[in-house]
Amino acid sequence: MFKRILIANRGEIALRIIRACRELGVESVCVHSQADAGGTWLEQADRTVCIGPGPSKDSYLRIDRIIAAAELTHADAIHPGYGFLSENSHFAVVVRDSGFTFIGPSPEAMNLLGDKVNCKRMAKQSGTPIFPGTDGGIEDLEEAVKVAAEIGYPVIVKAAGGGGGRGMRIARDEAELRAGVDSARQEAAAAFGNPMVYVEKYLEQARHFEVQVIGDNHGNSIHLYERDCSSQRRHQKLIEEAPAPGVDPAKRDRVCASAAALIRNAKYCGAATCEFLMDKDQNFYMLEVNTRVQVEHPISEAITGVDIVQTGIRVAAGEKLPYRQEDIRINGHAIEFRINAEDPDRNFMPQAGLVETWAPPGGPGIRMDSHVRAGYRVPPNYDSMVGKLIVHAPDRATCIQRSLGALKEFKVGPIKTTIPLHMRLLREPQFVNATHDIKYVERLLAAK
Ligand code: MV4
């Protein structure tokens, strides 16, 4: 096991990693920006190092300064958390070449799965279901037109180097496809430094289903079942739940096992997520693989009892996965609510500034992952998420009831948060009946 881990992140995930380190008997070093000086989570780290001014590009994204801090403090490993440098394979290379262990996949595995075209090819070989479309990147436009005619419109043009909804074009006929390929290629070249685009069938109505997987450096991988993340707005998730409601157990087992096979074939070490869309007949189509620990990992921890962050550190240190697939069972239902410092009534305007009141809920099945307390000042420089409420209960209906109570108890002020929106969404018949899809929050907000 490591002696000392440097955490290249901030806020709630830095705190989550500090807690995991403590339980493993590992010291933690937390780097931070000037804007985060005095941050509550820093009190919990064994050491802290200021690495630059508030803007991320001058601190949390400064590879040279993070490596210098690791050298200065004699850390032996670096945990990137999520966001920032977590999916940057160049960072993973520099960490390794500087003599530290990157807590996450090798840069090779990161690149194999991070390239969407290559990831789709590997998925096909691993028996992971994918959308019909072009085999690999588009070499010439006529080939794309031919494939689109075969699979039928609408189709979607995506960038191999894209992800998270960036660089996509929907085409409803041949003319739109011809225009879409050209503009997507130009945008992809500028945004990702890789002009490769591909075409696949576009699914209009779907739920977002993502499988939590974890691998080690001994050829093992398991899945921890899935999360449904359909409650989102502009690719920002609001509510996630595990397991996905109403899914046929045999279909679930098959798609989850295929996700574990995919990361095994990529020799992947650490936590990852295989994202899928699920249609109304419960057919699955893989979208992409996230090569990091995700914001919403706690709901998978709740239903499986596996500590994902701790396990990620163990496998990075060379240990074998301490579970076999047969050890993993779904226990109850869990829902996570992202508490964002945003005003849902003012187009989700970010709410930086002093938090005077912070009274989180408690009771059975309630977990709060947050770095905030009364008196904390939300800096304007970073993501607006100020905490996560995770609710666990024996079944989905009980979990929704318990969540309504917890959100009612939760008092935050004077900054506005997403708490009232969550209470509204929990009462929506579409959510309650699990007939919602990836567009329902946006439809609801548009209808007002
Ligand atoms: C799709 C799709 C429909 N059909 N691909 C958006 C983010 C990126 N991960 C992939 N995305 C989508 N890909 C096909 N073939 C619809 C989306 C999509 C979406 C996916 C997951 C969660 C929210 C979404 C919101 C809009 C579009």
Q: How do residues 309-353 score in pLDDT, each as one tens digit?
A: 999 999 999 999 999 999 999 999 999 999 999 999 999 999 999
Judged against a pLDDT cut of 90, whether residue 166 lies above it is answered with no
Pairing label, strands 169-171, 77-79: unpaired
Quick one: pLDDT at residue 305?
98
- Domains belonging to the chain, first-starting first, are 4-103 (3.40.50.20), 130-201 (3.30.1490.20), 207-446 (3.30.470.20)
pLDDT tens column, 104-133: 999 999 999 999 999 999 999 999 999 999
Mean pLDDT of the chain: 97
% the chain with pLDDT above 90: 95
Residue 137 has pLDDT above 80, yes or no: yes
From 120, 147, 168, 290, give the residue whose CB has the most ligand 1 atoms within 8 Å, as the site to mutate.
168
Beta carbon of 288 within 6 Å of any ligand 1 atom: yes
Q: What is the pLDDT of residue 225?
A: 99
Measured in degrees and rounded to the nearest 5, phi and psi for residue 54 equal -55, -50
**Closest Cα to atom 5 of ligand 1:** 202
Query: Which residues face 226 on adjacent strands?
Result: 211
Q: Is the pLDDT of residue 448 over 90?
A: no
| Amino acid sitting at position 9 | N
Q: Is the CB of 301 under 6 A from ligand 1?
A: no
Tokens of 420: 């009232």
Average pLDDT of 415-444?
A: 98
**Ligand 1 pocket, 316 CB below 6 A?**
no
Q: Which amino acid is at 189?
A: A
Lowest mean pLDDT among 70-79, 130-139, 204-213, 388-397: 130-139
Question: What pLDDT is stored for residue 429 in this prediction?
Answer: 97
Catalytic residues: 292
End-to-end CA distance of the chain: 53
- Whether 209 has a pLDDT exceeding 80, the answer reads yes
Query: What pLDDT band is residue 8 in, cutting at 50, 70 and 90?
Result: very high
Nearest to 45 by CA among 80, 71, 20, 82: 20
Using most ligand atoms within 8 A of CB, pick from 134, 234, 288, 438 the residue to mutate for ligand 1: 438
Predicted confidence (pLDDT) per residue in 61-78, tens digit: 999 999 999 999 999 999
Whether 155 is in the pocket of ligand 1, judged by its Cβ within 6 Å, is no
The answer to whether residues 399 and 336 touch, using CB atoms and an 8 Å cutoff, is: no
Query: Tokens 């001014």 label which residue?
Result: 53
The confidence score (pLDDT) of residue 165 equals 73
**What number is the average pLDDT over the span 228-233?**
98
Q: Which atom of ligand 1 sits closest to the CA of residue 438?
A: 23
Q: Can you tell me the distance from the alpha carbon of 347 to that of 434, in angstroms, rounded to the nearest whole number?
A: 26
pLDDT at residue number 163: 75
Q: Could you tell me which of 297, 284, 346 has the C-alpha nearest to residue 17?
A: 297
pLDDT at 94: 98
- The pLDDT tens digits of the residues spanning 177-197 come to 999 999 999 999 988 888 999
| Whole-Å CA distances, 68 to 54, 392, 425 | 18, 41, 46
**Identity (one letter) of the amino acid at 17?**
I
pLDDT value, residue 276: 98
The CB of 333 under 6 Å from ligand 1? The reply is no
